[in-house]
Amino acid sequence: MGLTLETEVIVIGGGMTGAGVLRDLALRGLKAILVEQQDLGHGTSTRNHGLLHSGARYTVRDEEAAIESYRENLILKKTIPGSIEQTGGLFVKVPEDENSYVEKWLTSCKRVGIPVQEISVADALKQEPYLTKEIQAAFRVPDGAVDCFTMVVDVVADAVRHGAKVLTYHEVVDILTEQNRVKGVRVRDSFSGEEKEIYSQMVVNASGPWGTKLAQMAGIPLKIINNKGMLAIFSHRFNKQVINRLRLPGDADIFVPAHNVTIFGTTGINVEDPNDFSLDRQELEGMLAEGKKLIPTINEMRLIRAFSGSRPLYQEVAASDASGRNVTRGIALLDHYKRDGLDGLITITGGKLTTFRFMAEKTVDLVCEKLGVKAVCTTDQQAIPHRNAGEFFKNADIAPAAKNKLFNWAGTNAPKIESSLQESKVIVCECEQVTWAEIEAVLPEGGRFHLGDVRRRTRLGMGPCQGTFCNHRAAALAVEKKKATIGEAERAIHHAISERKKGMDVVATGETAKQLQLMETIYKVSLGMGEEDVQYV
């Protein structure tokens, strides 16, 4: 057995909920360690459309979730502004949508206090020219767009600044119990294979779709519904604001602007395996057929990739609805002492990306109650440092697009990027204007070189070429700068390209098919890399 660690609280899961719990614990003065099986935000928290909900989507069917969403919408805009674009949103009625739903929806929004402004069809078409000319009504709501990648990293970074610790690439292999109490966890380092035991007074299961597996380790029953949704990314941003269908939530009814692209989704299919990120061409075609009712030219636009992720839904009675649409998006906070007679373990699941902060607040309230700690939540007031960088980046001697990106992106990495940028101004990723200075700033000290981790922190390879050119450039520079060995760089390229190809294969028609063929030619022929899918954790 390897190292033994001690803390007050262990948080399992490095998604948005776990990140929020860790930060709340740290701000209240509790010692905490977060354990994540892969990288921060690897799972559900970055496998979604990045919608900052106004709550309007849920007012008719799920009033509690609607109220929570709108309240948290306002709080997050104030406390994490660097990861949110206040785009606003439109709910649009097309001829296929029920007339009776409009009045029901307006009444529900008014009842829960969500501001709605009706605009004329002419104004809606002027604001969003790609909308179908057949729309019959349009209403503005305070939706927004979230950069899930920066948000989870920034929330965790703020927790670390306040004393928390983080172990990424550490998988929980056992829940340590003694009589009827959880006393800690055993984790395995995914790179070295070394195991550690971490002892604590409380363990918080914030592992989302993997929650069932964690509960089984503790010997208790827990049914999480893994509701897999598929989404697609268009190569350009054609809508200024979020566009929603004015109907009960269903498949393929949201278009969310995100940086330079538009994200479209989603579907809902219950699956058993939380690691099921499979993609289906027929499912995509069904989405596009439905999406045409809002955006008629959707089939003429270039898709650069598709992706999927599972929503963790919870209800005490098993769901018969295979789509998961009728399961509440509300929060489930489970005290396993009251529920199962096992003390020292709490599960937090359900909810939405938008409600992660509130989920964390209720969870840490319960932790404090059980530990006899008197400390109040301040995450609704205490802001995370803004992502805008200093004046240096406005005047930096680099391409204008890269300058603009860095000024709005560098955040807490600004000092590292600035010092590196003085020497290395090379643009590694032309699609997303990522400099080597940015890449170098996010590489872990003495850690492994992983292009997926770099991508999540810089947007490397997220553009139309999907890493065709920039992945090998980044890997070559990492070797040249002694940030990676040749073997690490080769494994990183294999993994990055195989992951990008999975998302491209399902949308590979037209220009994207040509791009995929070019990628395969470069890596198979020019660079002589084989077909094997490298198991790089």
**Beta-bridge mates of residue 88:** none
Helix (H, G, I), strand (E, B) or coil at 416: helix
CA–CA distances in Å: residue 420 to residues 369, 415, 442? 47, 9, 12
- Burial of 103 per CB tally in 10 Å (0-12, 13-18, 19+): exposed
Q: Are 101 and 62 in contact (CB under 8 A)?
A: no
Q: Are 417 and 437 in contact (CB under 8 A)?
A: yes
CA–CA distances in Å: residue 352 to residues 241, 312, 318? 20, 9, 20
Question: What number of other Cβ atoms are within 10 A of residue 88's Cβ?
Answer: 17
Q: Are 387 and 82 in contact (CB under 8 A)?
A: yes
Residue 364 belongs to what H/E stretch? helix 356-371
CB burial string 453-477: b at 16+ within 10 A, e below: bbbbbbbbbbbbbbbbbbbbbbbeb
Tokens, residue 91: 């709910």
Helices (H) and strands (E) in the chain, counts: 17, 24
442-445 long-range Cβ contacts below 8 angstroms, 24+ apart: 442/413, 443/478, 443/483
What is the pLDDT tens value at each position of the chain, 537 positions in all?
578 999 999 999 999 999 999 999 999 999 999 999 999 998 889 999 999 999 999 999 999 999 999 999 999 999 999 999 999 999 999 999 999 999 999 999 999 999 999 999 999 999 999 999 999 999 999 999 999 999 999 999 999 999 999 999 999 999 999 999 999 999 999 988 999 999 999 999 999 999 999 999 999 999 999 999 999 999 999 999 999 999 999 999 999 999 999 999 999 999 999 999 999 999 999 999 999 999 999 999 999 999 999 989 887 655 445 444 455 557 899 999 999 999 999 999 998 999 999 999 999 999 999 999 999 999 999 999 888 888 888 888 888 889 888 888 888 888 889 888 877 788 999 999 999 999 999 998 777 899 999 999 999 999 999 999 999 999 999 999 999 999 999 999 999 998 999 999 999 888 888 988 898 888 888 777 765 543 433
Identity of the amino acid at 528: G
129: nearest Cα among 299, 263, 243: 243
- The full set of domains in the chain, from first to last, is 4-43+149-224+329-371 (3.50.50.60), 84-144+225-311 (3.30.9.10), 391-526 (no CATH)
Q: How far, in Å, CA of 114 to CA of 517, rounded?
A: 48
Q: How confident is the model at residue 328, as a pLDDT? A: 52
Q: Are 293 and 87 in contact (CB under 8 A)?
A: no
